[in-house]
Structure 1
Amino acid sequence: MAPNPATARNTGKSTLVGLLMLLRLRQWVKNAFVLAPLIFSGEFLNLPAIGQSLLAALLFSLAASATYVVNDLHDIERDRRHPTKSRTRPLAAGIVSPSQAGLLLAGLYGALIGAYFVMPGVVQVIAAYLVLNLLYTLVLKHQPVIDIFTIAIGFVLRVYAGAQSLAVPVSPWMFVTTLCLALYLAAAKRRQELAFSGTGGSRVLERYSVALVDRYAEMAATGALVFYSLFVISAKPGMVVTIPLVLFGLFRYWYVIEALDGGESPTDALLGDWQLALTVLLWIGTCIWALWPMPA
């Protein structure tokens, strides 16, 4: 019997959708951290610098997608037994085959290897990110505290990649602020996983409690605010007006977690809460306004 063309088209369309799901395009929002050096260096009016930063963010997005593919391939059997991931993860749901995911992964790695000849410094940082996340998938995500720090270091590497793309130095204050903010987000994510999935979501959750990760999140949020304020006051005094926005953002994010049951995915929390999204946009706009070059 000849194959039904309509069935073949539907299958192909379903596979394409599954491959796009495997890339987790919504999570690319996290790679906006790559653009932080563009803003803080004052190069946001320089078109070549904007292009370099956007390319670095795109490359980091491809690398992040590659880590998701590796993680989903590694966890496919576990995800098939999970009540939610068995339906939302394309490999576990059978929408995409492991061989198709492998071809996608090869394409992502190939693009990054090719990019080395264009942005070698950025790709070197990305290589460190890929190795770190491979270790996370295999070992580190099962180690309490280390798992949270591994996630946070990934955000620090994003900022460093952005600095490499522009060949500009990054203030130590920015690094430590990024680390604290990322630890806050990672601890909040663990809290919500515990609240919604209990200790059955992953093995490392058995080693945590909601009270413990709450304290981690509070400590990290305090550190982020203090270090950001010190950075602004010491290096960018014109940006002192952004401190209330940062404080409101931290408060609002915790409200989304505690009262609205969000925060298991920082991306979903940002895109799903208009006040949080508006705060981020206002912060970006205020930073650009404060750092706008004065006429000679």
Structure 2
Amino acid sequence: MSSFGHKVGRTAAALVVSMRPYQWSKNLVTFAPVLFVNRFTDPLAVAKVALAFADFCILSGGVYLLNDIRDLDADRMHPRKRERPIAAGRLSAATAAWAAVALLAVGLMAAWTLDRLFFAAAAGYAVLSLAYTAGLKDAVIVDLLVVSFGFVLRVVAGAVVIHVEASSWVLICTLFLALLLSLGKRRQEMLVLEADAGLHRRNLQEYSVQFLDYLMLLVTAGALMSYLLYALASGRHRYMGITIPFVLYGILRYLYLAFQKGEGGSPAELLFRDRGLLLSTALWVASAMVALVLER
């Protein structure tokens, strides 16, 4: 292969890495509506949600590229993020910018083609994510809420693409869980960067590990209470209580890893690296399917 071919291959590989495929697992929440409205055995509905999932992977890939361009200098001071292709110099900012624009354009055009309401949700996610990258990520508390509402918009998108209502219970549970994961990530950044945290991200100097610990415990209580009420007292499902043990274990396992092992920095990576979290998630999905099949 020619040197030009090698260069193209290296650039393509760097682009893929910068799109962070390991983070695309976050987009799996688009499947929540098709599960909870009991249409997970409907091939057409599942296919539409799968396309929605793929579209969000494209959109989030473009956002990640722009985020890495914006955080270029800060990432070079981070012990892990400095290995990212743009920060490490393996991918030029100009190439990343063009690729990001192309991905966002393709993602939005695909969303428009798939469904108009889905396009509205996808466009809302893109605007929110770009606003986060542009400056909201430096606003204390707001940064956590923006990331969390990004998850909520994914769930809404998964509902509208199959023309069903997004349950307020599912949205509330999603919001609390996303807040918990966002807080765990901020807490890990504080622990890793220590005194240099404020240099990496301006708003980190406004946080403290103790404050984040308090918020994590508060949000955990909200997440658990919301799910318990949804499963047992919402009147929407008769057998969803069988899923509660797996939700309890999963959340407690995450807290154990975050507080005792200092591993809350990347929930997406942690999900596939930790057998306990992966198993509890798989058992929760399986038990939810059983509960919903019993309701038919």
TM over 0.5: yes
The answer to whether the 8 Å contact 2:239/2:295 transfers is no
Structure 2: distance between partners of 1:91 and 1:273 = 28
State the 1:223 CA deviation: 0.5
- Which amino acid is 1:267 matched to? A
- For residues 131-179 of structure 1, what are the alpha-carbon distances to aligned partners after superposition, in whole Å with 9 as ceiling and x for unaligned? 1111111221111111111111011111100001111112211111111
- Counterpart of 1:187 in structure 2 is 183
- Counterpart of 1:157 in structure 2 is 153
The answer to whether the 8 Å contact 1:91/1:98 transfers is yes
- For residues 206-241 of structure 1, what are the alpha-carbon distances to aligned partners after superposition, in whole Å with 9 as ceiling and x for unaligned? 001111011111111111111111111221131101
State the 1:76 CA deviation: 1.8
- For residues 229-260 of structure 1, what are the alpha-carbon distances to aligned partners after superposition, in whole Å with 9 as ceiling and x for unaligned? 11112211311011111111111001111222
- Counterpart of 2:283 in structure 1 is 282
- 1:224 corresponds to 2:219: no
Which segment drifts farther, 209-218 or 254-263? 254-263
The answer to whether the 8 Å contact 2:272/2:278 transfers is yes
- 1:202 corresponds to 2:174: no
The answer to whether the 8 Å contact 1:23/1:65 transfers is yes
Pairs within 5 Å for 1:8-157: 8-87=4-83, 89-115=84-110, 116-157=112-153
- Counterpart of 2:246 in structure 1 is 245
The answer to whether the 8 Å contact 2:108/2:122 transfers is no
Structure 2: distance between partners of 1:258 and 1:6 = 50
Structure 2: distance between partners of 1:278 and 1:213 = 27
- Which amino acid is 2:225 matched to? V
Which segment drifts farther, 90-99 or 40-49? 90-99
SS in structure 2 of the partner of residue 112 of structure 1: helix
Structure 1: distance between partners of 2:238 and 2:210 = 37
Q: What's the Cα RMSD here? A: 1.5
State the 1:82 CA deviation: 3.5
The answer to whether the 8 Å contact 1:176/1:227 transfers is yes
- Which amino acid is 1:48 matched to? L
Q: Which stretches in structure 1 are left out of the alignment for 5+ residues?
A: none
State the 1:6 CA deviation: 4.7
State the 1:12 CA deviation: 2.5
Q: Which stretches in structure 2 are left out of the alignment for 5+ residues?
A: none
Structure 2: distance between partners of 1:164 and 1:55 = 13
- 1:255 corresponds to 2:274: no
The answer to whether the 8 Å contact 2:76/2:82 transfers is yes
- Counterpart of 2:267 in structure 1 is 266
- Which amino acid is 2:96 matched to? A
SS in structure 2 of the partner of residue 170 of structure 1: coil
Normalising by structure 2, report the TM-score: 0.93
- For residues 180-207 of structure 1, what are the alpha-carbon distances to aligned partners after superposition, in whole Å with 9 as ceiling and x for unaligned? 1111111111111111112243111100
Structure 1: distance between partners of 2:77 and 2:231 = 48
Number of aligned residue pairs: 290
Q: Are the structure 2 counterparts of residues 20 and 259 from structure 1 closer, same or farther at C-alpha, using a change threshold of 3 Å?
A: same
- Which amino acid is 1:107 matched to? A
The answer to whether the 8 Å contact 1:42/1:293 transfers is no
Q: Are the structure 2 counterparts of residues 130 and 36 from structure 1 closer, same or farther at C-alpha, using a change threshold of 3 Å?
A: same
Structure 1: distance between partners of 2:68 and 2:253 = 31
Identity %: 34
